[in-house]
């Protein structure tokens, strides 16, 4: 009998289903708002990365509509051929100014920024040193390099120093240290000031992925470089995404003009992938406008974060190492996290479990993402649901 050449996929999928490890895709029927319609139910949204609710800000929506009217629905090409519009260049100028950098470069997504840029920064004979908990897009970028790879224990700068010494024994031409700014599963902040100090001592380049720190940390949401009072002379590659707190879509990197000139000539995910629809770029510019003129969003986000984490901790939840609006509610085994998420959903709360293999087997959790658009009433309803379901499941 002829075998089915793609039968293995069904088997793999069924294995995941049997272990309850398959992703259950929820359907949003309308915008991603603090109160959203999901699978036909009205829920309070605690798992969106839309930290500042900017995806629903009238200025962003208006800017996107106007850009479609003036520039059309698509850009027609990759940036390097005929896909660079005035709106793309304006976004890069505005982003560089916002970040206090000489220049910025935008990519189609954060993932493609890491995947396309990291492999061009180091190669054979170089060393790349990565935090063990870095995001998957960094891990893929690192895998694409021909440099010798080293991993240091999470945020452990004493270990990083030992790894640097080990790497130097091989006489690498270049060294690149790479870290998330805010770690997406735990919400803790990388010790970037100490990493920069070590980098200087060892002549290393520093790359930070600030996907969860920008528009959240630093002066007016300028990100982790601003949070630590550093500059782009200290952090050579400040990477980020417009898909989270900026409320839109698209990756970017900021630093020196030399870096940007080099990156766009070498980075394959920039050179070979079409540019954003003009509406996307225009909405991103509007997001920067909002951040520069409406200080209240970042402030409310942090007020909500303080209120919610205190509420969870007061009732006995372990919130792990959270220092930011990412607030885990630790559950232990995967089955507990899944049960807590299901119980919360019955109470009208959408908060998703993070389980193995995204985190260690005994570190399953619900990951709560705070939002500046959540009202105190919605936070109280969410906390009451946590208390009820958490007690029922013996988590608290």
309 counts as binding ligand PMP under rule CB under 6 A: no
Contacting range for ligand PMP; rule: CB under 6 A; set: 106-114, 162-170, 284-292, 335-343? 106-114
**Binding residue for ligand PMP, selected from 184, 267, 269, 372, defined by CB under 6 A:** 184
- Given 75, 108, 184, 267, the catalytic residue: 184
51 counts as binding ligand PMP under rule CB under 6 A: no
241 counts as binding ligand PMP under rule CB under 6 A: yes
List, as own/partner pairs, every contact residues 350-359 make where C-beta atoms lie below 8 angstroms and the sequence separation is at least 24, other chains included: 350/26, 350/36, 350/38, 350/43, 350/44, 350/45, 350/46, 350/47, 351/46, 351/47, 351/382, 352/47, 354/185, 354/328, 355/21, 356/21, 358/185, 359/185
- Residue 236 Cβ vs ligand PMP, minimum distance, rounded to whole Å: 17
Closest by alpha carbon to 134, among 186, 204, 99, 201? 186
- Residue 212 Cβ vs ligand PMP, minimum distance, rounded to whole Å: 6
- Given 135, 212, 232, 276, the catalytic residue: 212
| Distance (Å, whole) CA 98 – CA 210 | 14
- HSE (side-chain half, CA atoms, 13 Å) at 61: 7
- Residue 92 Cβ vs ligand PMP, minimum distance, rounded to whole Å: 16
Read off the tokens for 278: 């003009």
As a whole number of angstroms, the longest Cα–Cα distance in the chain is 68
248 counts as binding ligand PMP under rule CB under 6 A: no
- Residue 2 Cβ vs ligand PMP, minimum distance, rounded to whole Å: 40
> Would residue 130 show up in a list of annotated catalytic residues for this protein?
no
At CA 154, angle to CA 153 and CA 155, rounded to 5?
110
Contacting range for ligand PMP; rule: CB under 6 A; set: 15-23, 204-212, 353-361, 369-377? 204-212
- Residue 182 Cβ vs ligand PMP, minimum distance, rounded to whole Å: 8
**Binding residue for ligand PMP, selected from 141, 218, 251, 373, defined by CB under 6 A:** 251
How far CA 230 is from CA of 67, 99, 101, 179, in Å, comes to 35, 11, 11, 15
Closest by alpha carbon to 186, among 157, 155, 216? 155
Task: Name which of 247 and 251 has its Cβ closer to ligand PMP.
Answer: 251
> Would residue 212 show up in a list of annotated catalytic residues for this protein?
yes
75 counts as binding ligand PMP under rule CB under 6 A: no
9: CB partners within 8 A, 6+ apart: none
> Would residue 35 show up in a list of annotated catalytic residues for this protein?
no
- Residue 54 Cβ vs ligand PMP, minimum distance, rounded to whole Å: 14
**Binding residue for ligand PMP, selected from 180, 186, 188, 238, defined by CB under 6 A:** 180
137 counts as binding ligand PMP under rule CB under 6 A: yes
**Binding residue for ligand PMP, selected from 51, 98, 111, 345, defined by CB under 6 A:** 111
Read off the tokens for 370: 């705070």
- Given 244, 297, 336, 363, the catalytic residue: 244
Cα dihedral 205, 206, 209, 210 in deg (nearest 10): -140
Residue ranges in contact with ligand PMP by CB under 6 A: 109-111, 135, 137, 180, 184, 209, 211-212, 241, 243, 251
Catalytic residue numbers read 184, 212, 244
């Amino acid at each position: 009998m002829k075998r089915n050449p793609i039968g293995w996929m069904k088997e793999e999928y069924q294995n995941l289903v049997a272990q309850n490890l398959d992703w259950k895709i929820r359907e949003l029927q309308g915008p991603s708002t603090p109160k959203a319609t999901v699978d036909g139910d009205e829920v309070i949204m605690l798992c969106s990365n839309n930290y500042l609710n900017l995806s629903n800000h009238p200025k962003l929506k208006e800017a996107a509509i106007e850009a479609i009217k003036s520039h059309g629905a698509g850009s027609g090409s990759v940036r390097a051929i005929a896909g660079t519009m005035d709106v793309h260049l304006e976004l890069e100028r505005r982003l560089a100014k916002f970040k206090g950098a000489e220049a910025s470069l935008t990519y189609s997504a954060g993932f493609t920024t890491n995947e396309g840029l990291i492999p061009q920064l180091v190669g054979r004979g170089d060393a790349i040193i990565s935090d063990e908990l870095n995001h998957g897009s960094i891990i893929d970028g690192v895998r694409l390099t021909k440099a010798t790879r080293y991993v240091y224990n999470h945020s452990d700068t004493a270990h990083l120093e030992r790894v640097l010494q080990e790497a130097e024994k091989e006489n690498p031409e270049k060294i690149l240290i790479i870290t998330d700014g805010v770690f997406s599963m735990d919400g803790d902040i990388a010790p970037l000031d100490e990493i920069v100090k070590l980098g200087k001592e060892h002549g290393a380049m520093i790359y930070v992925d600030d996907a969860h720190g920008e528009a959240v940390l630093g002066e007016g949401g300028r990100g982790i470089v601003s949070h630590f009072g550093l500059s782009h002379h200290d952090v050579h590659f400040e990477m980020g995404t417009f898909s989270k707190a900026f409320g839109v879509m698209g990756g970017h990197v900021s630093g020196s003009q030399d870096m940007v000139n080099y990156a766009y000539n070498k980075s394959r995910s920039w050179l070979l992938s079409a540019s954003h629809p003009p509406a996307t770029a225009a909405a991103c510019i509007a997001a920067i406008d909002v951040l520069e003129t409406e200080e209240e969003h970042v402030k409310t986000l942090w007020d909500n974060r303080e209120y919610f984490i205190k509420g969870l901790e007061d009732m006995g939840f372990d919130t792990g190492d959270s220092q930011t609006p990412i607030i885990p509610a630790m559950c232990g085994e995967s089955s507990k996290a899944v049960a807590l998420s299901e119980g919360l959903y019955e109470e009208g709360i959408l908060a998703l479990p993070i389980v193995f293999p995204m985190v260690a087997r005994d570190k399953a959790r619900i990951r709560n993402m705070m939002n500046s658009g959540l009202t105190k009433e919605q936070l109280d309803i969410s906390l009451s649901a946590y208390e009820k379901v958490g007690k029922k499941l013996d988590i608290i």
